[in-house]
A and B are shown apart, each in its own frame.
Chain A
Amino acid sequence: MTAENIIEVENLTKIYGQFYANDHLNFSVKKGEIFGFLGANGAGKTTAIRILCGLSKPSGGKITVAGFNVYNQTEQIKRNIGYMSQKFSLYDDLTVKENIEFYGGIYGLNNKTLRQKTSDLLQKLDLTDKQNFLIKDIPLGWKQRLAFSIAIIHDPQIVFLDEPTGGVDPITRRHFWDLIYEAAFSGITIFVTTHYMDEAEYCDRVSIMVDGKIIALDSPDNLKNTYQVDTMNEVFLKLARQKIN
């Protein structure tokens, strides 16, 4: 790992039978960067994320995450990353506070740290008076913010967000992005996949995957300039269509 790259990927390849789900991916992600990982359904995003999180082994390539390799240091990787998916993974039948304590416990925070973190987090999310509400009884927007905060409760170096913001109103979505910006500002690297191309505009850099390959990687502004269009949506359509047709 160079001083500034927190994720380094050289020739990441994953083959299922004859099928190249990931075909020689090359990219790196800088510390504190908001990195967008985009692609159509079936492009190979989930395969790559699972490898980066230490949940699946690649068929080939040199890949390090937070300085650890994805072949035999997966436990160290898991301790240094956070993960949040669209389906969250909060427990519906536990309260807000119980969920925080549960995940803090899993990540091995000691009691004193956990108490402090729980109280800080409740305050920051404005949930102190709702700490005893069951998760199933709170609105989607709160759940998203809580799920994100829990995903970084152990101060990971990187947090992976898999389609995090579907289905909420535009103001709630922005509240969520405020949290993401704040985390990035504090040095946590954000690795995010999304279907909302307007959301890709929030990233520092984005990669676009088609058919298992990365076919573009740059800042949203540079991509828009390169393809002479006004929005990331148009960039994505241009690239994804040109490959499919």
Chain B
Amino acid sequence: MNNRSIEIVELNKRYGTIQAIKNINLTIQTGELFGLVGPDGAGKTTLIRILTTLLLADSGKASVNKLDVVKNYKQLREQIGYMPGRFSLYMDLSVEENLAFFATIFGTSIQENYDLIKPIYSQIEAFKTRKAGALSGGMKQKLALSCALIHRPKVLFLDEPTTGVDAVSRVEFWEMLKELKNTGITILVSTPYMDEAELCDRVALMQNGEILSIESPDELKNNFPHDLWYIKAENQYKLLQILRTWEKTYSAHGFGQSIHFVSQDSQMKEDEIRQFLESKTCKIQRIMRIGASIEDCFMELMNQPKKA
């Protein structure tokens, strides 16, 4: 395929005794909205910092738009936008000054690329004389995204843009990303929120420096290898304790006030579960088969032995 935007081959990085990323292989297509999903310490930031030429890998190769992250780092930097985890805005500068500053650094102006940032920037433009430090979290996020886009990059790297941001701002942010994707830009976004994986074209689930899987959200969920049961009882705590001691339990995880249960026995019928729980005086409210969520898949992959 000739429209690869990001290519990563056997990339490794170690900090002291900690292997931050282990033998990462990944290809991302031009125009893709790609998610790196995993908890703190998974290696998401390390990977993004290597791709944005801010950190050197110990071994392996990576390129963005055919430009090597080491040899061609200067050219590469002109083509990418990067929004780090803690929005690197200048808190003492106003909204407009921040944007003008980033535009100037990349040898352009707000006017020249206004069309690209307009859908985002127009939401905060009314506050353009306000200092960045005085903005709400959601507004800072919009300004940081505008700054990362002002030089019209071909590839956009977003490192946990929605962490610590409330649910409403998170939804709005993903709507902005969808719109941006329509302009043809490649977007690599990292997040610890499993539900945000659903909004990507493809996702890499990451844990302890390794990629557990690379799939589209639908493939991921459809490939969940077990029958999954939703069980709800009067006392969720008691239900979980009972299921954990059952020899036929493969896994039992709390999901809010319900439990997601997988049996060791792939032929298990609803009646058998019901009878067992009733024999333990558990008052069942509901049992049904359900499809797996991304979080179910992540936990399953965490428990699987590593593929060779």
Contacts and interface: CB of A to CB of B under 8 A. Distances in A.
Interface of A: 39-42, 139-140, 166-172, 174, 177-178, 181-182, 184-185, 195-202, 220-221, 232-233, 236-237, 240-241, 244
Interface in B188-212: 192-195, 207
* 5 nearest A-B residue pairs (beta carbon): A201-B256, A169-B39, A167-B40, A40-B166, A181-B237
Contacts of A39: 166
For chain B, give the interface size range.
20 to 34
Nearest to B193: A196
A225 B50 CA distance: 47
A169 B167 contact: no
A167 B257 contact: no
Given A41-B136, A167-B39, A195 B166 contact: yes
Contacts of A170: 194, 253, 295, 298-299, 302
A39 B165 CA distance: 11
A27 to B, nearest CB: 20
A40 B167 contact: yes
Contacts of A240: 166-168
Contacts of A237: 167-168, 171
B299 A171 contact: yes
Contact of B41 (A40, A140, A182): A140
A41 B195 contact: no
B38 interface: yes
Contacts of B192: 166-167
A169 B298 contact: yes
B166 A139 contact: no
A185 B42 CA distance: 33
Contacts of A221: 257
A221 B194 CA distance: 22
B40 A168 contact: yes
Contacts of B207: 169
A198 B136 CA distance: 24
Contacts of A171: 253, 299, 302
Interface centre among B163, B193, B254 (most CB of A within 10 A): B254
Contact of B256 (A168, A169, A220, A244): A220
Given A166-B192, A169-B39, A244-B168, 8 more contacts: A39-B166, A40-B168, A41-B137, A181-B254, A195-B166, A198-B195, A202-B257, A237-B168
Given A169-B298, A197-B167, A233-B195, A185 B254 contact: no
B169 A40 contact: yes
A185 B237 contact: yes
A244 B302 CA distance: 39
Contact of B169 (A41, A139, A166, A197): A41
Contacts of B166: 39-41, 195, 240
A55 B298 CA distance: 40
B255 interface: yes
Interface in B162-179: 163-169, 171
Contacts of B295: 170, 198
A64 to B, nearest CB: 28
9 contacts: A170-B298, A178-B240, A178-B254, A195-B166, A195-B167, A198-B195, A198-B256, A201-B255, A240-B167
Contacts of B41: 139-140
A202 B256 contact: yes
B153 interface: no
A45 to B, nearest CB: 10
Contacts of B194: 170
Interface in B99-156: 136-138
Interface centre among A41, A182, A220 (most CB of B within 10 A): A41
Contacts of B137: 41
B112 to A, nearest CB: 32
Contacts of B237: 181-182, 184-185
A201 B195 contact: no
A202 B237 CA distance: 10
Nearest to A177: B254
A40 B240 CA distance: 31
A237 B172 CA distance: 10
B39 A172 contact: yes
Contacts of B254: 174, 177-178, 181, 202
Contacts of A140: 39-41
B276 to A, nearest CB: 21
A241 B170 CA distance: 12
Contacts of A169: 38-39, 42, 207, 298, 302
A233 B256 CA distance: 12
Contacts of A195: 164-167
